[in-house]
Structure 1
C-alpha cells in the first residue's frame, strides 16, 4: 500500500445479527474514493463467542458467524476485483472454518481465489492454559465446564497478515478497535510504540466498531434527537491520515446523520476512563480530543493522545451455568393487570421453594387488533388495556427448568380468565468471569490458508 495516501476504512456490521444489506453502499463508496481501502465486519460481542463454542460442539464445522454468507455474498466479488481488503472477527470459535467457507463462497461467485489469513492466539480454552487461568482467577475459577476462554488480542497479527498480502483476514477474539488499527499499521508502517498515532487510529476504530451507532442509529430519539432515513441507515467510513487523525463519513444517498453529537456519543460509549481507555495495543487518552464538523455528514477527530500499552491482556472465561427458562402470556380488557398479577401469584405458589422467580408485567397493545398505525402513532382507543406477564428463572438441570414452561402453558385453562398468546423458551445458560493474564503468555500470529 502507498503509505502517503489516507486510508479509507468502512464498517459494515457492528454485531452478530446486524443488517446484511449494509455493506454494499459502503463498498461502492470505498471503490469510488480511489484510495487504499479496507472493509471491516465487527460481529463478536462478549458472549457471542461462547455461544459459538457451544454451536461447534454439536457441529464441528460450525462456530463462526452464522450470517457470514449473507454478509459477504453481496460484496465479496466486488472487493476482490477492486482491491478492497476485508478484515473481520467473524471467525468467532472457528476462524479456520470461516476461512474455508469464504474461499468456497468466492468460487461460487466466480471471483478470483482470495488469499485468506487466519489470526490465532486468542483461544485459551485448552488444558495447557488451565493453570494460568486458575492463577489469574483464584477462587473465581469456575467449577462448571468451561465453554470458552479468549484473550482480547491486538492489531499486530492483522497488520502482519495484510503486509503478507492477505485479501481477507479472519480473526476470533481481537479487541474491536484493533480491526481498524491493524490495517492502519500495515498501511502507514507506524512503530508499535508510536503511542499517539496508535491511539488515534484506535479511537477511529472505536467510532466504527458499533456500525450504525455513530451514523445516528443508537442516537435517534424522536422529537429530541431526530435522525432522517433511519430505515435506510448508512454505515460509517473513516479516513485516517498519516498522523492517525480521522474523519468520519457515510455513503452518499444513505439515511442517518453524522455530526458532532453523534460522534461524541459514540466516542464516550463504553469508555470507563476518558484519560485511559485500555486496549491491547495502546492506552488512549481523549481528554484533549477535538471533534469538529468538516462538512455535511463529515466529522473530524483530532487531539487524541496515547500511552504505553498494558502489560496484561483481558480474558473472558465463559462456563456452563445451568438452564434458563421463560414464559409469557397476555391478558387484555377490563382488569387485565389484576388478572396478570393473579397469574404471577399462582406461578409463585406452585413453584415455591425451587428457585428465584422473576415476574414482569409488560406490554402495550400486544393483543389490540386493527390498523397498526394506531399504536405506531400513539392513537389508541380509550380504555384499551393490555398486559403481558413474563416469568423467568434459572436452574441447574433441563428437567427442573422445564417446570416453568409447563406451568405458564397451564395458565391457558387453569386461570385466571382470558389468558392467551403463550410463548415459552429454554436455552443453556452461560456464566462469565474475566481476568488479566500476562501479555507474554499469549502467543499470537497468523496462518495463510492454502
Structure 2
C-alpha cells in the first residue's frame, strides 16, 4: 500500500510515503522532517520561482527537481521520483499526486486504465477537500480516503461522492466519475473503487524537468 498525504497548514502530518504541499505553508522544520523521514514531497510553488524552491531544498541537503512551467502532470512528477528526487516543484499538485505516486511506486504503464482512473478520482478528492487527507492507494487503483489523527473535519462518503461528478480528463485517463463506487468502511474511512477508464485523445505535449541544471524533456 502507498500512502499519499495532503498538507494544508495543519500543525502536523501523517505517516505517508508522498506528501503534496504548497510552498507557502511548508515550513523549513516540516521540510527537514520530511527529508529525514524519506517522505517524498510534491510541491506547488504557488508564486515562488520554482528554481528558487529547488535551491532552498538543496541548501538543506535534499535532492530537488522542478518542472520548468505549466500545470502539474503525473508523468513528469513520476519521472523525477524515479530519479530519486526528494522534492519535486511544480504547480498545483494535489490532483496529480496520487497518479504520480502510483506510476512511480507501482510502475503503472499507460495501458493501466483502471489503476489510473482510481488515482485520478482520489486526486480530485484531495484537491477539493479544505482539510488534510490521506489516500491509501493499492496497486489495482482502489483507494481508501482517511485523515491524519487529530486533524480537523470528518471523512464521510456523501462528501467524497460530492467531489466526484461528471467526467474527468487528464493527459493519462478519462474517468466517468459517476461510475466510481464510494462506500464508508469505518470512522473517517471511505473506499473508492474505480471503473475502467478510457484513453484520452492523442496529444503531443511535453514538459521540461530540470535536475541539477540539466533539462529533461518528458512526455505528458
TM-score interval w.r.t. the shorter chain? 0.7 to 0.9
**1:158 equivalent in structure 2:** 77
Q: Name the CA shift for 1:178/1:256 in 2 (closer, same or farther; >3 Å).
A: same
**2:98 equivalent in structure 1:** 180
- Superposed CA deviations along residues 133-163 of structure 1, whole A, max 9, x for unmatched, are xxxxxxxxxxxxxxxxxxx462111001000
Q: Is the 8 A contact 1:116 1:167 kept in 2?
A: yes
Q: Name the CA shift for 1:72/1:309 in 2 (closer, same or farther; >3 Å).
A: farther
- Superposed CA deviations along residues 38-97 of structure 1, whole A, max 9, x for unmatched, are 0002x5xxxxxxxxxxxxxxxxxxxxx5x2xx4232311111111111002226472112
Runs of 4+ that moved beyond 4 A: none
**1:302 equivalent in structure 2:** 193
- Which protein is bigger by CA-based radius of gyration? 1
The separation in 1 between residues aligned to 2:197 and 2:33, in whole angstroms, is 36
Aligned counterpart in structure 1 of residue 15 of structure 2, from 30, 34, 40: 30
Query: C-alpha displacement at 1:303, in angstroms?
Result: 3.0
Task: Please state if 1:204 is matched with 2:189.
Answer: no
Task: Please state if 1:243 is matched with 2:161.
Answer: no
Aligned counterpart in structure 2 of residue 119 of structure 1, from 67, 87, 92: 67
**1:260 equivalent in structure 2:** 157
TM-score by length of 2: 0.87
Task: Please state if 1:190 is matched with 2:117.
Answer: no
Task: Please state if 1:8 is matched with 2:3.
Answer: yes
TM-score by length of 1: 0.44
The separation in 2 between residues aligned to 1:197 and 1:171, in whole angstroms, is 23
Extract unaligned runs of 5+ from structure 1.
Answer: 1-5, 14-19, 32-36, 44-64, 107-112, 123-151, 213-233, 269-273, 312-438
Structure with the larger RCO, 1 or 2 (CA within 8 Å, 6+ apart): 2
The separation in 1 between residues aligned to 2:96 and 2:109, in whole angstroms, is 15
Query: C-alpha displacement at 1:171, in angstroms?
Result: 0.9
The separation in 2 between residues aligned to 1:103 and 1:87, in whole angstroms, is 15
The separation in 2 between residues aligned to 1:115 and 1:262, in whole angstroms, is 37
Aligned counterpart in structure 1 of residue 34 of structure 2, from 79, 97, 104: 79
The separation in 1 between residues aligned to 2:140 and 2:114, in whole angstroms, is 8
Residue aligned with 2:66, SS: strand
**2:168 equivalent in structure 1:** 277
Aligned counterpart in structure 2 of residue 448 of structure 1, from 205, 211, 215: 211
Residue aligned with 1:205, SS: helix
How large is the Cα RMSD of the aligned pairs? 2.1
The separation in 1 between residues aligned to 2:58 and 2:2, in whole angstroms, is 26
Aligned counterpart in structure 1 of residue 178 of structure 2, from 283, 287, 303: 287
Q: Is the 8 A contact 1:94 1:172 kept in 2?
A: no
Aligned residues: 213
The separation in 2 between residues aligned to 1:247 and 1:262, in whole angstroms, is 14
